[in-house]
Structure 1
Amino acid sequence: MRFLNVISLFACALLLPSTVGANEQQKLESWLNQVVQHHPRLQAAQASADKASAELRAANQPLFNPELEFEYERAGVDTKTAGITQTIDWGDKRLAQTHLADYKLQLSLTELTVAQQKLTAEVLLALVTYQASIDTLKIIEKRSNSMSQFFSIAKQRYQAGDLTEVELALAQLASSEANFELADARSELIINKQNLYVVLGSGSNSLLMSLPVMSDIPTSSEYPVKDSNQTLDRLPEMRLALTRMNIARAEIKLRQREQRPNPSIGIKAGKEGNDNLTSLSFSMPLFVRNNLSAEVEAAQLLLIQREYEATSTRQALLAQLTSAEQTLQVNRQAWAQWEATGGQHLLRKEKLLGRLWEAGELSTADYLVQLKQSLDTEESVIRQRAQLWQSWTQWLIASGDIAKWISPQSSLQTNSIPKKLGSGE
């Protein structure tokens, strides 16, 4: 009965329905934020956003500094003059440049958000795979122990004349196969742990020591999506596509204003001999040989490209959302059905198999076939749970709901653009 008790106790622990409490979900959120806040990938994205913020401040500066000029000429009459020249930003190129830099800052901030969400999804998926391999190893360890005890009991029954030599050989083969599977499971756990270690980035050791529990799927108030259009509009990938369109429009405006020449005005004062000298100057470049129309055309074509890319992105995001929602629904239904009936049925079957074999009412070959089927089902339960977590994570990304699981990383504020620039477009 010792062999039967080992299987029964383990099956009870594995197959009881599990739920996620608020405290458990809070631990997972806290752990994810620790990963995101200190990850090198996010620090690089933050540095890019900081750079874009500095470029915005630079773009908002005046385009031209005044030029100071001194001149001394010694001839029959000595001439001394001092003057200042200022080039004028004609056409508000500075405002157009600032507008463009502001959109680029928005792009960097959105890219930071995308990087946060993608990293969070990668960490969740790696954590799910790692914990699934831990659970699988536990099952296979129990299987190996059970098969060893089964082989030991089979040898006793063979010596007592209750089993044939063929049945004893089957028991030995089953024990050897379980040991091989145990080695494979341990190798897979090592690989998945290393993959998780790589994804976690800096501080991996401490983060691995405080892994959160992922026993079941947390609920979400946003599932299912009520308005797909609103959901798509707020997705960072869609905002990226729209911001790239705005950048293209701002570049068109800048290139158009660059077609307007920048005149320079100067004033000089000095002495020519004993006479006072004052002069005014005005100069303007002539866009005769190159009127910069090619640059405008290139910017317009870039906008057309960005518009098509935005349309394609929206179609891809809608397909991703639809697929993720349907996949999650299928996996949730399958898991609910299993929790309702499958666990208890499998537990009763394993108890019955053990009693029948020990009583001699079931052959060793039939017992091994049916027991293997039951143990394979237990492994399938773990895979299904992992698949449910994976489909839930994919839905979080597709719906944008994953943003609720991470804290904002950037404290940058987008500088407001003067209204007259927008009206000038």
Structure 2
Amino acid sequence: MNQLFRPGSSHLLTPLTKILMTGVLLIPTIQISIANEPITQEKTQYSHQQQTYQQKTENNSFWAKWLLNQVMSLPLFQAMEKGMLVASDQQKAMQQSVYNPELGAFYTDKDDDEYGMMISQTIDWFDKRSANSQLGQNNYDLVLLENHLKIENSLSQALFAYIEFIMSKQLLEISKKQEVLLTKLSVELRKREAAGDVGQIDAEMAYLSLSQNLQQISLTEIRYRRASAQLIQSIGSSRIAAHPKTSVWFNNINANEVSKHLNTGYKIEYAQKQLDESISHSKIALLNKKVNPTIGLGAGRDGDENTILFEISIPLNVLNTFSSEYSAALHKVNQSEFELKEDQRLVKNDIEQSFNNYTQLKARVLSWQKLMGNRLKNSEKLLKRQWKSGDISTSNYLFALKQRTDALVANIELKGEMQKAWVEWLLASSQIKDWLYNLK
């Protein structure tokens, strides 16, 4: 199973090549009715089809798999697969011997010809190979962690785009319903005005409300188109195959869980691994200051005599002592240490802020639901009935309709912000992939 996508897995495990061949990416292509398009069936089959459709489109696991499949099908993840192949080969290269043997031959033209062959080998006296191998492992781990971060960011952008798309779609539906209502109202007022039942001022107010609503529709349509474009950019499509249940956005986070994530997560691991990489570079820089001897053995002829050759050489770090490289490597270690502390500070701030935002917004949503309940459900019909019976004036009727619309919009905006805050919490604590994977 794909270690990058398995919840609770160790982060530094299998190459992405194997990962992308199994697990999430092999989720079958979803072929069901699109949730944001109307279902047109024969009347005799409509009830059964609608029930099946609701079961599919309101399933948390089905929605999560669909979202994962969409995101993981993007070209970015194919590039990640190739990047892991590069990192794997580079890691193997760093594990190889530092020095290859050398084969040499010589010939001296004199009265008695002298010639021979020699093989020489530079001795890795201070074990530079192990230092290179450790650096290669650190580099590989960095690429793997970077891919984890890319996955978390890509999934978060997909979730943000999904939430914004649903919000803008709902807001557009409200605006269009309001337009239909106000259009019917203006027609009815025109008839009543001609009959002398209402004054001209009431009709004018209805027209003004309709013109304001037209502006709102235009702005909402722009928001909807932008959300659609962002959704296509994030998941490669604007067709939504499923929706989660509403309860998926209502979660409990305790203080202990917040503390647990303060010093963990992919960002902290990535910064720590960068520090390890800097330390590995400093060790190699120190080894470069030291010299390794080269030993050679050979055989030859000097006239009529056989000769055995032995040679030893030691480089002299006189013109270049490699001290500057070592000093730079030490400074890089210090820089990485401070960068780790800065990342820890930022992650701590992100986690605490996202926790506070989500808990407060969830409390506001629950308070709104408790306050409003089902009051808005039949309020439109009730207001219209009272207006037609003359219990309320046209101006009060229009004002009440506006208040009702504002309440519906506020509910959508508040829920959307709460959902975004939940995604921000998951992103700050590096849990998006695991959360989606474990949804049931």
**Any idea what the Cα deviations from partners look like across 1:6-45, whole Å, max 9, x if unmatched?**
xxxxxxxxxxxxx999962112210221133222233333
Corresponding residue for 2:414?
A: 384
**Any idea what the Cα deviations from partners look like across 1:391-410, whole Å, max 9, x if unmatched?**
11001111222131466xxx
Q: What is the TM-score when the length of structure 2 is the normalising length?
A: 0.82
1:11-410 aligned within 5 A = 24-200=59-235, 204-205=236-237, 208-214=238-244, 216-218=246-248, 223-347=253-377, 349-405=379-435
Q: What is the TM-score when the length of structure 1 is the normalising length?
A: 0.85
Change (3 A) 1:119 1:33: same
Instruction: Report the secondary structure of 2:349's partner residue.
Output: helix
Change (3 A) 1:292 1:316: same
Change (3 A) 1:229 1:20: farther
Give the whole-Å Cα distance in 2 for the aligned partners of 1:180 and 1:388.
27
107-116 vs 170-179, which moves further: 170-179
Q: CA RMSD in A?
A: 2.3
Give the whole-Å Cα distance in 2 for the aligned partners of 1:43 and 1:189.
30
Corresponding residue for 2:37?
A: none
What is the CA-CA distance between 1:132 and the residue it aligns to?
0.8
Give the whole-Å Cα distance in 1 for the aligned partners of 2:368 and 2:229.
31
Change (3 A) 1:305 1:229: farther
Change (3 A) 1:22 1:351: closer
Give the whole-Å Cα distance in 2 for the aligned partners of 1:237 and 1:341.
41
Q: Report the AA paired with residue 288 of structure 1.
A: V
**Any idea what the Cα deviations from partners look like across 1:161-192, whole Å, max 9, x if unmatched?**
21001111112222233233223322321221
- Compare relative contact order (CA 8 Å, sep 6+) and give the higher one, 1 or 2: 1
Instruction: Report the secondary structure of 1:90's partner residue.
Output: coil
**Any idea what the Cα deviations from partners look like across 1:170-228, whole Å, max 9, x if unmatched?**
1222223323322332232122111211222xxx24xx334431552516877235144
Give the whole-Å Cα distance in 1 for the aligned partners of 2:366 and 2:221.
30
Give the whole-Å Cα distance in 2 for the aligned partners of 1:220 and 1:72.
85
What is the CA-CA distance between 1:229 and the residue it aligns to?
4.3
Q: Report the AA paired with residue 298 of structure 2.
A: K
What is the CA-CA distance between 1:98 and the residue it aligns to?
0.7
Instruction: Report the secondary structure of 2:208's partner residue.
Output: helix
Q: What's the % identity of the aligned pairs?
A: 24
What is the CA-CA distance between 1:243 and the residue it aligns to?
0.5
Give the whole-Å Cα distance in 2 for the aligned partners of 1:261 and 1:44.
41
Q: Report the AA paired with residue 165 of structure 2.
A: Y
What is the CA-CA distance between 1:146 and the residue it aligns to?
0.5
Instruction: Report the secondary structure of 2:209's partner residue.
Output: helix
What is the CA-CA distance between 1:104 and the residue it aligns to?
1.1
Q: Report the AA paired with residue 297 of structure 2.
A: I
Q: Report the AA paired with residue 79 of structure 1.
A: E
- Contact 2:114–2:300 (8 Å) recurs in 1: yes
Give the whole-Å Cα distance in 2 for the aligned partners of 1:102 and 1:129.
41
Q: Report the AA paired with residue 316 of structure 1.
A: L
What is the CA-CA distance between 1:119 and the residue it aligns to?
0.6
What is the CA-CA distance between 1:299 and the residue it aligns to?
1.1
Q: Report the AA paired with residue 89 of structure 1.
A: D
Q: Report the AA paired with residue 239 of structure 2.
A: M
Change (3 A) 1:112 1:119: same
Give the whole-Å Cα distance in 2 for the aligned partners of 1:146 and 1:406.
40
Give the whole-Å Cα distance in 2 for the aligned partners of 1:253 and 1:188.
54
- Contact 2:57–2:63 (8 Å) recurs in 1: no
Change (3 A) 1:36 1:346: closer
What is the CA-CA distance between 1:66 and the residue it aligns to?
0.9
- Contact 1:222–1:401 (8 Å) recurs in 2: no
Change (3 A) 1:311 1:102: same
What is the CA-CA distance between 1:260 and the residue it aligns to?
1.5
Instruction: Report the secondary structure of 2:124's partner residue.
Output: coil
- Contact 2:60–2:245 (8 Å) recurs in 1: no
